[in-house]
Structure 1
Amino acid sequence: MTAIGPQLSAVFDGFSKNAPEVVKNPINSSRASLSDFDASGIIKVGEKMPDFKLQNAVGKEVDSASLRAKGPMVLTFYRGEWCPFCNIAMSGFQKYASEFKAMGVTLVALTPELPNGTLTMTEKHQLDFAVLTDAHNEYARKLGIVWKMPENLRPIFEKFGHDLPKRNGDDSFEVPLPATLLVDKDGIVRNVYAEPDYVKRVEPQTVLEWIDQL
């Protein structure tokens, strides 16, 4: 199947060529600032994953203990349905959803967007895995992967109709790093991909290789 890396690069190249400077400059500046993200607090391989109880796309509570009872889990965080890079990543995982299932692994996506937003993501991309609302990024914060976006991006989000306070239910202007974790049935983190640069994402094939090594 097609890797997502070239798709991500193509979207960013299109943005770089076609976006007006008034939009491109602050976005590129904020992206560059992610190199200063303090990664020391990000959950590490060998640590115990905190438990969670989060709502799915139809408002039903899903808890990590019940998911772990089925076997290993892959948790992948995305910023929101408004993010084109996130959409590529979620579609990429969907292409391999049957393989994750066949390997006995539960694939779960987490986002700060409220259930109506996660339902949109699920339906638009025909996702066969759970998408959970991490309200106010509370769970992502426990994993050390929350980034507060610069205030000068707010007018740009408004210009493009991305109403994050409405989508997320708060005005924090915070998003998770697009991190992906493999957690074994005992709740121990076995692999972590946590790249601050949101244009870069782990390949689903790489995550399947992680599982092969369990």
Structure 2
Amino acid sequence: MNQGPAFTNTIALQVDEFTPSFEAQIGPVLAEVFAREQQDLRRAGLPQGIARVGDTLPDSFLYDAGGQRLRLSEVLGAASAIIVFYRGSWCPYCSIALKTYQRELRPVVEGFGTRLIAISPQEPDSAVQAARDDGLHFALYADRGNALAARLGIVTVPSPDVVRAQAALGIDVAGLNMDGTGAIPFPTVVVADATGTIRLIDPRVDYTTRTETCDIIDALVAL
């Protein structure tokens, strides 16, 4: 049972409100490409080899807003952590999730002494600028080449049809990513305790769905 506060404006509700206007904006042809992508992702399901609850959180290099290379273990120190893997600042569903986490999680994690960070493969300077433009104040880090995401088993590559549809909207994922490829993580929330043991890992193959705040808080309460 959820022990945290009640959140009525869930991510799922926000997505339900956002998607029709987004699809109307981009038009039926592109909307169909993305709808087919989501169907294919759901049909394929999660890949083999994804990290599990009880596994040790792998260490890897990340890059901060200034481009400095740091190990994840340095970033987290001895604290428990909520790690949000997102596709990039270009993804409107990521923006919805991050804004929700900022609003609902940041006040909570201070009381738990927990680190809250967000990670994408995007160049750190462009990610930080986009976050500022979006009113976000997350601790953002770049995962060059999806190195950490790959160790967790949560990396995917969009199909050529999707890449063309993104380009039609002016989105160049490969151009934004640090390694110049279009690989991205499945949107995933990881909660790890102070020993680095994974207590929650929730990868979402359909990027229009996200881990709800109440489930993250439940994992924190259970630490």
- TM-score normalized with structure 1 length: 0.92
Q: Distance in 1 between matches of 2:65 and 2:137?
A: 12
Q: Which residue of 2 aligns with 1:127?
A: 136
Gaps of 5+ in 2: 1-6
Cα deviations across residues 103-158 of structure 1 (Å, max 9, x unaligned)?
11001100011012221233123434311101121211111111110101222211
Residue aligning to 2:173: 164
Runs of 4+ in 1 over 6 A off after TM superposition: none
Aligned to 1:30: 37
SS of equivalent residue, structure 1 residue 132: strand
1:45-84 equivalences under 5 Å are 45-84=53-92
CA distance in 1, matches of 2:184, 2:81: 22
Looking at structure 1, the residues matched to 94 and 27 of structure 2 have their Cα atoms a distance apart, in angstroms, of 22
Paired residue secondary structure (2:48): helix
Q: Which residue of the other structure, out of 7, 10, 24, is the alignment partner of 1:3?
A: 10
| 1:42 Cα deviation from its structure 2 partner | 1.1
Distance, in Å, in 1 between the alignment partners of 2:107 and 2:81 is: 14
1:32-75, CA deviations, whole angstroms, 9 ceiling, x for partnerless residues? 11120443211100001101221112213332223443410111
Q: Who is 1:207 aligned against?
A: 216
* CA contact 1:146–1:176 (8 Å) conserved in 2: yes
Q: Secondary structure at the match of 1:117?
A: helix
Change (3 A) 1:16 1:162: closer
Cα contact 1:58–1:119 (8 A) shared by 2: no
The total of aligned residue pairs comes to: 214
The amino acid across from 1:184 in the alignment is: D
Aligned Cα root-mean-square deviation (Å): 1.8
1:13 and 2:20 correspond: yes
Task: Tell me the SS of whatever aligns to 1:39.
Answer: coil
TM-aligned CA deviation for residue 4 of structure 1: 2.0
Q: Do the aligned residues in 1 keep the contact of 2:149 with 2:155 (CA within 8 Å)?
A: yes
Write the distance in 1 (CA, Å) between the matches of 2:160 and 2:180.
11
The separation in 1 between residues aligned to 2:66 and 2:180, in whole angstroms, is 23
Percent identity between the aligned chains? Answer: 25
Cα distance, 1:85 vs. partner? 0.3
**Which residue does 2:96 correspond to in 1?**
88
2:206 to 178, 197, 206: 197
Equivalent of 1:187 in 183, 196, 214: 196
Shift of 1:171: 4.5
Q: Which deviates the most, 175-184 or 127-136?
A: 127-136
Counterpart pick for 1:143 among 149, 152, 167: 152
Gaps of 5+ in 1: none
**Is the 1:114–1:133 Cα contact (8 Å) retained in structure 2?**
yes
Secondary structure in 1 matching 2:167: helix
Q: Distance in 1 between matches of 2:144 and 2:159?
A: 20
